[in-house]
Structure 1
Amino acid sequence: MVSTVYNENPQDAGGVAPEQTAVVVIGAGQAGIAMSEHLGARGIAHIVLERDRIAERWRTMRWDSLVANGPAWHDRFPGLQISGVGDDEFASKDRMARYFEEYAALIGAPVRTGVEVTAVRKREGRPGFRVETTRGDIDARYVVAATGPFQKPAIPPIVPAASGIHQLHSSQYHRPDQLPEGAVLVVGAGSSGVQIAAEIQRAGRRVYLSVGPHDRPPRSYRGRDFVWWLGVLGLWEASTPPQGAEHVTIAVSGADGGHTVDFRRLAADGITLVGRTASFDGARMHFNADLRENIRRGDANLFDLLDQADAYIARNGLDLPEEPEARVLGPEADCITDPILELDLAAAGVTSIVWATGFTADYSWMHVDAFDDAGRPVHQRGVAAEPGIYFLGLPWQSRRGSSFIWGVWHDARYLADSILIQQSYLTYQAADEASSSPAVEEPDREPVLTTGAL
């Protein structure tokens, strides 16, 4: 229900009245745009703040040849197809950035770009929060942190900056010729690490790839993409990860039309596989003796999903072509059977390290009681421990698919409903209060139309 409410407009310390709105959404990536759609559909006044451009991480924090990891029929919002990209194709990073711009325009999202949020604080003696930005302060009853999980590149403190080795995070890597001449060590064998290693190797470089524990789903099986299999098998809906698997790397690729990651094939193509990176002694990099076990556990994960898919086909009488070759494993290269446990980087000609080691969250700008001692959000399905604060785009926020494009859209709908419910309480007025409260005319103030107010 939309009501006319007169806001207090209290002045800040500088004598300037902060802008007022019901909800401030911080971040205009996939999470922020999804949140805006659901808030707008419910008539809830809101502002979306973005310090750069819409979907900036797709533009500048990815390598040039990156494509979406899911096919276009799946990795999108329900309300708009990705034009110019076939349903079973994988959109480029630049096409995905334009897609979110198009979606924001389609829903009329009130996005303000070039506005950085410097702090969020609880308002003293009043409900809501003060959002401090580089373009002035905003008071809001609710704040949604839609900055997602990819905020701060995580580089393990293994190799000192003074080592002389050129080091960069995968978010800083764009193309092979960006790196100095010489061999390259890529640390991390998830989607990013595998694709970057393969691209550098095709450019004629010697590449070492450090492989840790991982899941290795098939890109497709019996005519269906793995995202379809996770859907019909109910695996996207898992509410909690398996014990110890909260941050397991997923090795799957949308590159070159999409393919199953095969570490044996990567080794056969000339990439030298090593185990998980352990330490650096000033000259030599040391690796754990776990390469073979990591690869075999990845194989077991692959076969488990194939078994579940076969059982689903038989149970439902589906006519899908058999694919026995999906279970065929190639020979193990020498680097797998006799793995390198230490590598003299200078002797091997390694001049660069690309750390494909993921990200950490950074909420140091949020001065609210919504985090544990390690700085991680305390929440239930994105509803924070601090009333009025919400998170969106977190891994496993409500289900396995929460940090994926379609998953964040559904999580945003839940949060918008939660905010709407809270506003229904704030707009309640008992019958005796309503009958005894005379109407007050305030001609010097403009009414603010919003669903609920501060």
Structure 2
Amino acid sequence: MSDENIEIDTLIVGAGQAGVAMSEHLSNLGVPHLVLERNRIAEAWRTGRWDSLVANGPAWHDRFPGLKFDDLSPDGFAHKDRVADYFETYAKNIKAPIRTGVEVKKVERNVGRPGFTVETSEGVIQASRVVAATGPFQRPVIPSIAPKDETLTQIHSAQYRNPQQLPEGAVLVVGAGSSGVQIADELQRDGRQVYLSVGQHDRPPRAYRNRDFCWWLGVLGEWDAMAMRPGREHVTIAVSGAHGGRTVDFRGLAHRGVTLVGLTQSFNDSVVTFQADLAANLARGDENYLSLLNAADAYVERNGLDLPQEPEARETYPEPACVSEPILELDLAKAGVTSIIWATGFAPDYSWLNVDTFEPNGKPRHQRGVSYESGIYFLGLPWQSRRGSSFIWGVWHDAKYVADHIETQRRYLSYRDVS
């Protein structure tokens, strides 16, 4: 790029899985486009995750239709660097017009003429349409209750890399979704004393009756759910591909030495208070787990499938002491806690997108990625069109819908009344 104005039909911002998928579909439709990425292709997979992370879905499932993980077992789980390599290869295979090292600083709608003016670190672009493919994990969120204690090392899960990064001592991990539970497990295996703050969560089996949970959600139609059930907006999912893929079992973690506590409520000097909801949160997770087992069993019987019985999947560990006698207060100093890891999610950051299509909380207003602001699109959002939108394969299908919408609008605008 240069300082000269560049004109393009569609500009895609971000070259992660969403941007690469968007480029493929636009290319298939013959739509001229450009993808800008401020770092490298799929950079978040390389440097925005901890060192040992693997994909949460198996290789046969977590991929695009046009390329397999040929070096992995279909039921294996790709390491994060392998996932990044995958998208780099995919982008090369489809000849995606990606320019890396270019940051988009501002997008504004033009006045008195169509399209948008896009200011970048390497010049100005005029674009008829803009696709924000930067995904939902843009700004790590640490809640306001975090203590103002300089003696504690406090980082978000986005900054965590490995146990050696932390000072010696015990660790409090706040948040027990996929990130929090895997980090707590890794720290405990490293010999740390770990306290894991567990809120409401879904806890699917990693696999059941010789089928991964991704397969079960597919045949049961769960990936196609159009909207999250009311009251479940803040419920995380505890699932992991680590160590070859195992079902997350909080009681199992406790029996290995992790101390479970309830939802983190407040801090007063070095004392942290937890809600008395640990047993209830675990029970709701168990209910979610058992409901999938029951649905799977019913599906097998209804369809006469020859899948092995797995009665051991319903066996549970004895209730650990930290659940039957929950800790409601913990003096971090006396407990030797020197670090807190906040696995508390992310917030969107579209500060560069100066258009009228956002809720007061900063979330985009859209319908399946089509913004309320004509010509602006979003891709890579959770529940963008359905439950499966959060997965790699889901964003590929969402991108096809957005690309088709763009091509439809192009046909309208190309109409000429020749009568």
**Band the TM-score falls in, shorter-chain normalisation:** over 0.9
Deviations 1:306-355 (A, max 9, x none): 11000100110000000011111110110010010010000000000011
Match of 2:109 among 122, 131, 137: 122
Please give the residue correspondences for 1:254-273 in structure 2 after superposition, counting only pairs within 5 Å.
254-273=241-260
How many residues end up aligned between the 2 structures?
Answer: 418
What is the rounded CA distance, in whole Å, between the counterparts of 1:305 and 1:394 in structure 2?
25
Counterparts of 2:197 and 2:237, CA distance in 1: 14
Match of 2:358 in 1: 371
Distance 2:150 2:263 in 1: 20
Matches within 5 A, 1:375-394: 375-394=362-381
SS at match of 1:83: coil
**How far apart in 2 are the matches of 1:42 and 1:91?**
31
Contact persistence 2:166–2:339 (CA under 8 A): yes
Q: What amino acid sits opposite 2:198 in the alignment?
A: V
Residue 168 of structure 1 aligns to which amino acid in structure 2? Answer: I
> Where do residues 336-347 of structure 1 align in structure 2 (5 Å cutoff)?
336-347=323-334
Which one-letter code corresponds to 2:302 in the other structure? R
Structure 1 contact 384–391 (Cα < 8 Å) conserved:
yes
Distance 1:363 1:416 in 2: 21
Query: How far 1:375 sits from its partner (Å)?
Result: 1.5
2:320 aligns with 333
SS in 2 for 1:346: helix
Question: 118, 133, 146: which one pairs with 1:131?
Answer: 118
Name the structure 1 match of 2:237: 250
CA RMSD between the two structures: 1.0
* Structure 1 residue 312 corresponds to structure 2 residue 299: yes
Measure, in 2, the Cα distance between the counterparts of 1:163 and 1:257. 38
Which of 348, 360, 366 matches 2:347? 360
SS in 2 for 1:144: strand
What is the CA-CA distance between 1:162 and the residue it aligns to?
3.8
Distance 1:417 1:191 in 2: 33
Q: Is the 8 A contact 2:371 2:377 kept in 1?
A: yes
How big is each residue's C-alpha offset from its partner over 1:387-417, in whole Å with a ceiling of 9 and x where there is no partner? 0000001110100011210000000000000
Deviations 1:68-127 (A, max 9, x none): 000000000000001211100000000000000000000000111111111110011110
Q: What are the superposed Cα offsets for residues 237-293 of structure 1, whole Å, 9 maximum, x if unpaired?
A: 000001011231101110000010001100000000000001001110110000010
Instruction: Say if 2:59 and 2:75, in contact at 8 Å, map to a contact too.
Output: yes
Per the alignment, residue 209 of structure 2 pairs with 222
Tell me if 1:21 matches 2:8.
Answer: yes
- The answer to whether the 8 A contact 2:4-2:123 is kept is no
Where does structure 1 lack aligned partners over 5 or more consecutive residues? Answer: 1-15, 433-454
Match 2:38 to one of 34, 47, 51? 51
Amino acid at match of 2:275: N
> Based on CA coordinates, which of the two structures has the bigger radius of gyration?
1
Is 1:90–2:77 an aligned residue pair?
Answer: yes
Structure 1: how far apart are the matches of 2:115 and 2:417? 22
Residue 163 of structure 1 and its aligned partner are, at CA, apart by: 3.9
Which position in structure 2 is the counterpart of 1:64?
A: 51
Deviation per residue, 1:363-394 (Å, 9 max, x gap): 11111011122221011000000000000011
- The letter for the 1-side match of 2:28 is A
SS in 2 for 1:171: coil
Q: Which residues of structure 2 form unaligned runs of 5+?
A: none
Tell which deviates more after alignment, 270-279 or 152-161. 152-161
Note the C-alpha offset of 1:161.
4.0
Q: Which residue of 2 aligns with 1:146?
A: 133
1:193 aligns to what SS in structure 2? helix
- Secondary structure of 2:131's counterpart equals strand
> Aligned partners of 2:233 and 2:225: how far apart in 1?
12
Structure 1 residue 418 corresponds to structure 2 residue 405: yes
Q: Measure how far apart 1:17 and its partner are.
A: 4.6
**Structure 2: how far apart are the matches of 1:249 and 1:374?**
20
User: CA separation in 1, counterparts of 2:199 and 2:49?
Assistant: 22
Query: Are residues 1:395 and 2:377 paired?
Result: no
Q: Distance in 1 between matches of 2:262 and 2:147?
A: 20
d(CA) in 1 for partners of 2:148 and 2:402?
42
C-alpha separation between the residues in 2 aligned to 1:162 and 1:188? Answer: 20
Q: Structure 2 CA distance, aligned partners of 1:66 and 1:245?
A: 26
1:290-309 residue pairs with structure 2 within 5 A?
Answer: 290-309=277-296
Is residue 322 of structure 1 aligned with residue 309 of structure 2?
Answer: yes
Task: Give secondary structure in 2 for the equivalent of 1:393.
Answer: coil
- Matched-pair contact (CA < 8 Å) for 1:163–1:282: no
Name the CA distance, whole Å, in 2 between partners of 1:166 and 1:20: 47
